[in-house]
Amino acid sequence: MMVFFENDHCVKCNEPLGFSPERLEMAVVKNLQTSNPNGATQHTCANRDQHHVCNWMVPEADNSAFCLACRLNDLIPDLTVEGNLARWSRLELAKRQCLYSLLRLGLPVEQGEDPKAAPLRFRFLADTPSGPALTGHDGGIITINIAEADPHERERRRGALHEPYRTLVGHFRHETGHYYWDRIIADSPYLQGFRELFGDETASYDESLKRYYDQGPSKDWQEHSVSAYSSLHPWEDWAETWAHYLHIMDTMETAVSFGIGLNTGKRIHAVSNPFPADLATNPVDFDKLLNTWMPFTLALNSVNRSMGLPDLYPFVISPKAIEKLRFIHETILSAARENREAIAGQLAVK
């Protein structure tokens, strides 16, 4: 039986399904509950029960009506407005897809794991007569304009802003990059390495923003960044590269789950699994990951061209951009190890 990440019911037998963020896997839900191998029970999220917008489960020990993903919401759309429930549902799916990758990488997503860190929170806002709702990150709060959940509006903005890879999940991945810059890089031993690769983040963001929209991106951005927007400011370069790294990891894991293989001209071999059983103690080699990713993208683009569609992966990654991706890879592995040790220490104290 094939089960997809967004399913809340089996399409064959109609059994209810739920996703466990603790085990990172789907399970059949019996009487609105499911149990993991050690006997701990979980129940469905209140946003599934009330609004049918979530398929994640909640451990009974959490003493919460909401799952890990939904309790990070600081503000949801006004559901009395026609169409907002559908928009919110699309937003939640993209958010959960992003959170899955963060959890799979072993990154901290809740304040409880680091009392000094700003908690990660989400606000979904609509434009008002007084002005547009701006998508962005500030002090742990990620704001997404709900208009991005409207496919027609997102397509209009994609063309107007010349952003061929503008997607909902891309927004979440990009903005979490800003969140983890604050949480991992700022005032840390990684800051000097960041500055050597991405630049000095103390440069005025407002001036950089004005220059970008007045003059356009740096003409040589392809020589050192993954996107034109990356050339706006070192913070945006980091966030764009962070999002790109998550694109790679998530796409590769999907390929592995389907057993996709690559024909290298000598033999056909399976796509490398970017997520070993325990990434913190058994990390994947970055060069091996990239050496699989590059030919895989050629295959993806060729499939799209066969359907008369644009390239699925319209990027050419320069050596400098690869080094930035490598830095993010190594930083994430280090942060995952630190997070694992912090959790172990908290459990030992308890």
Residue range 152-194, pLDDT digits in tens: 777 776 666 666 677 899 999 999 999 999 999 998 999 999 9
Query: DSSP labels for 59-77?
Result: EGGG--SS-TTGGGEEE--
Residue bearing tokens 């993010």: 328
Alpha helices in 142-218 (DSSP H): 151-160, 168-180, 191-198, 205-215
Single out the residue in 52, 68, 84 at which a domain terminates.
68
Domain boundary among 53, 68, 83: 68
Confidence of residue 265 (pLDDT cuts 50, 70, 90): low
Q: What angle do CA 165, 236, 150 make, to 5 degrees?
A: 40
CA atoms within 13 A on the CB side of 15: 15
Average pLDDT, the chain: 86
Tell whether 63 and 74 lie within a shared domain.
Answer: no
Q: pLDDT band at 331, cuts 50/70/90?
A: very high
Do 109 and 8 have their domain in common?
no
Checking if the pLDDT of 145 tops 90, the result is: yes
The CA distance from 111 to 177, in Å, is: 17
Q: Do 30 and 144 fall within a single domain?
A: no
| Helical H segments across the chain, by residue range | 46-51, 84-104, 151-160, 168-180, 191-198, 205-215, 234-257, 286-306, 319-349
Q: Are strands 57-59 and 73-75 parallel, antiparallel or unpaired?
A: unpaired
Residue percentage of the chain with pLDDT more than 70:
84
DSSP 181: I
Q: What's the confidence (pLDDT) of residue 282?
A: 60
Does residue 108 share a domain with residue 35?
no
Residues 38/48, Cβ–Cβ less than 8 Å: no
Give yes or no: residues 165 and 92 share one domain. Answer: yes
> What is the rounded CA–CA span in Å between residue 295 and residue 284?
18
Contact (Cβ atoms closer than 8 angstroms) between residue 264 and residue 234: no
Model pLDDT, residue 314: 87
Label residues 176-200 b or e (16+ Cβ within 10 Å = b): bbbbbbbbbbeeeebeeebeebbbe
- Asked whether residue 165 falls in the same domain as residue 303, the answer is yes
Looking at residue 82, its pLDDT comes to 94
Q: Would you tell me the crossing angle of helices 319-349 and 191-198 to the nearest 10 degrees? A: 160
Supply φ then ψ for residue 136, to 5 degrees. 175, -175
Whether residue 178 sits in one domain with residue 109 = yes
- Planar angle of CA 343, 337, 5, nearest 5 degrees: 80
Total domains in the chain come to 2
pLDDT for residue 255: 85
pLDDT band at 340 (very low <50, low <70, confident <90, very high): confident
Same domain, 169 and 24: no
Rounded to an integer, the average pLDDT of 46-52 is 94
Q: What is the predicted pLDDT for the residue at 36?
A: 62
Are 199 and 250 found together in one domain?
Answer: yes
What are 217-248's pLDDT values in tens digits? 999 999 999 999 999 999 999 999 999 999 99
202 and 160 housed in the same domain: yes
Lowest mean pLDDT, pick from 85-89, 245-249, 263-267, 300-304: 263-267
Residue 270 has pLDDT above 90, yes or no: no
Q: Are 120 and 140 in contact (CB under 8 A)?
A: yes
- Are residues 23 and 89 located together in one domain of the fold? no
Pairwise CA distance, residues 156 & 165, whole Å: 13
Per-residue tokens: 332: 């994430």
| pLDDT value at 278 more than 80 | no
Same domain, 133 and 255: yes
Structure-block tokens of residue 282: 């058994």
Q: 343 lies in which domain range?
A: 69-349
Query: Could you give the C-alpha distances from 19 to 22, 220, 341, in angstroms and in order?
Result: 9, 44, 25
Task: Give the type of residue at 126.
Answer: A
- What's the length of the chain? 350
Q: Residue 342: its pLDDT value, please? A: 62
pLDDT mean over 258-284 = 64
Quote the CA–CA distance of 198 and 224 in Å, as a whole number.
Answer: 9
> Which amino acid belongs to residue 204?
S
